[in-house]
Structure 1
Amino acid sequence: MKLNAVLKDLPVYQPGRPIEEVARELGLPADDIIKLASNENPLGPSPRALRAMAKAVRQVHLYPDGNAYYLKQKMAARLGLTPGHILLGNGSNEIIEFIGHALVEPGVEVVVSQYCFAIYPIITKMFGGTVVEVPAKNYGHDLAAMLRAVTPRTRVIFIANPNNPTGTRASNRALQQLVREAPEHVLVVLDEAYIEFLEDPADFLPLLRAGKQKNLMLMRTFSKIYGLAGLRLGYGLGHPEIIAALEKIRQPFNINSVAQAAALAAFDDTRHIERTRRVNRQGLAYYAEAFDKMGLEYVPSSGNFVLVRVGEGQRMFEALQRRGVITRPMGGYRLPEWLRISVGTAAENRRCVAALKEALAEMRSN
């Protein structure tokens, strides 16, 4: 059997390790392990979403609404858009794959930043495109340089703001300038998975409402602040013509009925969102103070995680894991001296810092 040649050198995305897997491997009780590896909501889903899921489970013998009518209606009303502006995906990753299907092929270039989300280059290479990586500026996007990297062969620019894994954010002014100046033949994809954690995010919805900017796509998700990562539900916002084209690629029933019910309920739970923001602000401040006291370099974060320099990232990851704390080593992002640590509950954050101090002392003594 002859496989597609592109698969030979295609990297495999490595997610944060599940608690159950670490428990099996190390012989630790699962209840004694905390996971701070995947930027999940430490408070869990909205209580409203939990009740909605319990109800929806009773009808999982039926196929879901393939067009997610009620969810799209609610989202459109909240965002001031029409359902035709909205595309739902099995996580934001599926939206990225839709873009790959529609726009990327051999000879096409995709512009990304150094330290960008790993899925952008993977999808580009999957469809035979060429990744044009622009050097980072202070671990974040150099938007002016990314714009200069555009050529007649460029079809997509991916920008995550805040950026994963570095937690950096671009200024609203710089983002607005890039969107304004990007050539019409280039789709500007703003990955806003962490936008709800920003106090003053740039608002590009008016451009979509006006219908004048066809080359802009916003990506958001229910995985982060809404706490529904296990249900896999992301969405894209764009011009109806672009959304209609991507809908041709979307598989039937890609959003299950439990996910739709949970998202409908979670979208309205502003109390849960505000509580999550508060816990996140406090957690980021706690980590910053702890790292300063420990003399560790870190990147100030605008997300729900922080990138910290620990020396030997993989070794520290393993040392913390033995202590029941799962973090994310950054070797795959060419940051081998760094860990990415998600913000947890106050108790989880304290436990992580205590384990980090203990592991650092152990590593230095050896």
Structure 2
Amino acid sequence: MNIKARAELEGITPYALGQTIEEIKEQYGITTVRKLSDNENVYGTSSKVREAIMQASANLSFYPDGMTTGIVEKLSSHYQLDQKHFLVSNGSEEIIRLLTRAYIDKNDEAVMAEVTFPRYKTNVLIEGGRAVTVPMVDGRHDLKKMQEAINEKTKMVFVCNPNNPTGTIVAKQELLSFIANVPPNVLIIMDEAYFEYADSEEYLDTMSLLDQYQNIVILRTFSKIYGLASLRVGYGIMHEEIARELHKVRDVFNVNQLAQAAAVAALKDQAFVQDCSAKNSAERDFLSAKLKELEIDSFPSQSNFLFAFSNRPVIQKLTENGVLVREMPLPGYKEAFRITLGTHEDHEFILQIVSQLFHERAV
């Protein structure tokens, strides 16, 4: 074909998606699949959300509110922060794209961890920028090396906290020091998609830094603990001047009406969020400890998933039994994978499968 795409697209591959539930059922002849591969909320969503969607469905012939007024008002009230600091998006990934579209020029650089959410790198490359990746240490961001990688070409740094896919966080004082030493003309993108799951005293509340550091952009989402992954609603919290620039490059009507109604209802039900967080913490401790007994270790997680690794074969056996996880190679280990935390019953089932596998190999 003689029609050539932009040179920046060479070498970029689409985001990798795993097999569907139906494909797994057909391939292995099973009827039940536990999808623990995409960090979704296994406890579903608030009943208030379903009611709100039903009411909003009466107005499907109208365009949605292009300024997402209802969500912005509710976020402002929830965080006790002026509305001018919020921008609502089609998933928090859209804000990543808007940031690179608005601020990355050709040959600009963006610093990020080597093992983190891959869409940072993709969006930087699409705009003609250069992604500078810094190796991690024990599954954590190496903020010292990331600081050293910043130069006169650097436009932004990405810190995913808790990090996807490792689930780890960076220590509070370490992150405070890093933020203080990033030049004010470099954007600090704090991706906090999983922050509602973090319960460590070492987790830094970056919201408190917005007045002091005008170059911070905080990304959060309704896809995870709120259980709205299929509706795609995210939001950014930032200085009003940054929000003004992003509004220039965002799509019109970027968040559909049903999604807007669902997000407002979800924010109202904080009891649901707290319940999910408590269950997640208990199951995180339980599963990580039990897997460790079976020689499957994991990085210390503050999210709703574990990054697990072992020198024993596990992934194929889980898949054959209808447990979907995301395979993610890790040097030095035979198998490594990210597994979304499920219900207690899910975890008992998983542990039974793994125990049987190890028993069979020992016989």
Query: Structure 2 length normalisation: TM-score?
Result: 0.93
AA at the equivalent of 1:126 = I
Specify every segment of 5 or more residues in structure 2 that has no aligned partner in the other structure, as ranges: none
Residue 317 of structure 1: aligned partner? 315
8 Å Cα contact 2:288-2:297 kept in structure 1: no
Q: 120-129 vs 151-160, which deviates more?
A: 120-129
Identity among equivalent pairs (%): 33
Residue 331 of structure 1: aligned partner? 329
Q: Distance in 2 between matches of 1:124 and 1:360?
A: 43
Q: Distance in 1 between matches of 2:88 and 2:332?
A: 32
AA at the equivalent of 1:137 = V
Task: Pick closer, same or farther for the CA change 1:63–1:333 going to 2, 3 Å.
Answer: farther
Task: Pick closer, same or farther for the CA change 1:332–1:309 going to 2, 3 Å.
Answer: closer
- Pairing 1:1-366 to 2, within 5 Å after superposition: 1-29=3-31, 32-199=32-199, 200=201, 201-208=203-210, 210=211, 212-311=212-311, 316-331=314-329, 337-360=335-358, 364=361
Q: Distance in 2 between matches of 1:75 and 1:336?
A: 44
8 Å Cα contact 1:310-1:339 kept in structure 2: no
Task: Pick closer, same or farther for the CA change 1:336–1:279 going to 2, 3 Å.
Answer: same
AA at the equivalent of 2:356 = E
Task: Pick closer, same or farther for the CA change 1:25–1:5 going to 2, 3 Å.
Answer: farther
Cα RMSD between the aligned structures?
A: 2.1
8 Å Cα contact 1:134-1:145 kept in structure 2: yes
8 Å Cα contact 1:33-1:325 kept in structure 2: yes
Q: 344-353 vs 333-342, which deviates more?
A: 333-342
Q: 351-360 vs 318-327, which deviates more?
A: 351-360
Q: What secondary structure sits across from 1:248 in the alignment?
A: helix
AA at the equivalent of 1:206 = S
Q: CA deviation at 1:253?
A: 1.0
Task: Pick closer, same or farther for the CA change 1:148–1:298 going to 2, 3 Å.
Answer: same
Deviations 1:101-142 (A, max 9, x none): 012232111101121111111111122211111121111011
8 Å Cα contact 1:115-1:333 kept in structure 2: no
Task: Pick closer, same or farther for the CA change 1:25–1:53 going to 2, 3 Å.
Answer: farther
Task: Pick closer, same or farther for the CA change 1:281–1:330 going to 2, 3 Å.
Answer: same
AA at the equivalent of 1:358 = Q
Q: CA deviation at 1:307?
A: 1.1
Deviations 1:234-254 (A, max 9, x none): 111100000010011110111
Deviations 1:226-276 (A, max 9, x none): 111111111111000000100111101111111111110111212111110
Deviations 1:303-358 (A, max 9, x none): 1101111337xx74333212111011003999872011110111111112222333
Q: How many residues matched?
A: 359
